[in-house]
Amino acid sequence: MSNQEEERLLNGGDSQINSDLQDNAIKEEDSDSEAVETINYDPTLDSDNDESEEGITTRYSENIISLLKPVSIAMIIVIWAVHTLSPILNSSGVPVSSAVMVYTESESDSGWLKLGGALLNALIVVAMVCVITVILVLLFVYNCYKIIYGWLITSSAVLLFTMGWLWLEFTLRAYSLTIDYFSYFFLLYNFTILGVVSIFWQAPTIFTQAYLIVVSCMTGWWLTRLPEWTTWAILAAVAIYDVIAVLTPKGPLKLLVETAEKRKVPIPGLIYESKKFKLGLGDFVFYSVLVGRASMFDSVTMFACFVCILTGLCLTLFCLGIFKKALPALPISIALGLIFYFVTRFGVTPYITNNSIQQINV
């Protein structure tokens, strides 16, 4: 294969897109974090000298798996957190409400009211994400890097500290472990500082990647506390927004990418880099939210959504190799996840339950 053909195969695009993810689910203080919701392929990271035909397909497959692994780990962690930490949080009496939700679901509400309220909540969340993305684009265009990084570092530190506090406390309670206050805060402080240093300065790659996964898991777990209908509506709305923001000519994320390309600088944001692919943290968060919410109903829906998200991600990565430009990573996975959640919930679960009772295997 000629070098040109290899470059064509490997060059999946060199643009990245940021979008903002604002975590306002329940807490009184706002905790903003930046996240990229697209996927990008960076051929400059290719240092493999194996130019055989077999090496090319193996390398591309390795690159795909290098994204499947962290996504799977993040989803598994959120599933664990939903089943271990959420019951403790729920029993502590913290109300499930949000400063941005205009509608709070109630058991006695009709289906139409829940649907309308959920769509309204989703619209508000997407509008907020859009506004923050536009602000980020403006800051980037006008070279306000100090404001951008100050914003990112502050929000990440606050997230790591507050969520780390909750996670550590609830984990100790869940497994009946004890620790003294001094060690508790010593661990928490070091966890937070190490996280900020790993993500924004320098650290072994494994630390950076681990902390990015932890940040996405914490945010994803928190968002699973949103009411059910609102969660599904937000997932659908954000997936649609991702398509518009990344692919339309005047989309904020597309503008961000083009500006970064022109200046040949990396896009500021929380981006998971693995070999040649870069995936935004927002994708990790919403994948985890979908699977976490599915796991609250049943293990069948959870596994179905898990498979769908991995399949959607593989399809997106294949499309990346074909279209060779930055693509939104959410739509295919979220669409498959949502469809198969409802299909398995209302169709497959009764069938499988019947087979389990009858001990029938097909």
Return the number of the residue (259 or 349) whose C-beta is nearest other proteins: 349
Distance between CA 285 and CA 25 in Å, rounded? 13
Q: Determine, following the binding rule CB under 8 A, whether residue 51 of this chain makes contact with other proteins.
A: no
Cβ-Cβ contacts under 8 Å for 55 (sequence gap 6 or more): 48
Catalytic annotation present for 30: no
Q: What is the dihedral of CA 338, 340, 345, 346, to 10 degrees?
A: 110
Q: Determine, following the binding rule CB under 8 A, whether residue 1 of this chain makes contact with other proteins.
A: yes
C-alpha neighbours within 13 Å on the C-beta side of residue 103: 24
Residue choice 245, 308, 320, 329 for contact with other proteins (CB under 8 A): 308
Q: Determine, following the binding rule CB under 8 A, whether residue 340 of this chain makes contact with other proteins.
A: yes
The 65-94 site mask, x for binding other proteins (CB under 8 A), equals x--x--------------------------
Cβ contact 171:84 at 8 Å = yes
Residue choice 260, 310, 320, 338 for contact with other proteins (CB under 8 A): 310
Catalytic annotation present for 242: yes
Cβ 345 to other proteins, closest distance in Å? 11
Return the number of the residue (202 or 359) whose C-beta is nearest other proteins: 359
Distance between CA 132 and CA 15 in Å, rounded? 20
β-pairing verdict for 31-35 and 271-274: unpaired
Of the candidate spans 34-42, 56-64, 197-205, 247-255, the one that interacts with other proteins by CB under 8 A turns out to be 56-64
Return the number of the residue (5 or 30) whose C-beta is nearest other proteins: 5
- Residue 279 burial (C-beta neighbours within 10 Å; 0-12, 13-18, 19+): buried
Distance between CA 184 and CA 196 in Å, rounded? 19
Write out the residues near other proteins by the rule CB under 8 A: 1, 5, 9, 53-54, 56-58, 61-62, 64-65, 68, 298-300, 302-304, 307-308, 310-311, 314, 340, 343-344, 347-348, 350-356, 358-362
Please give the positions annotated as active site.
242, 283
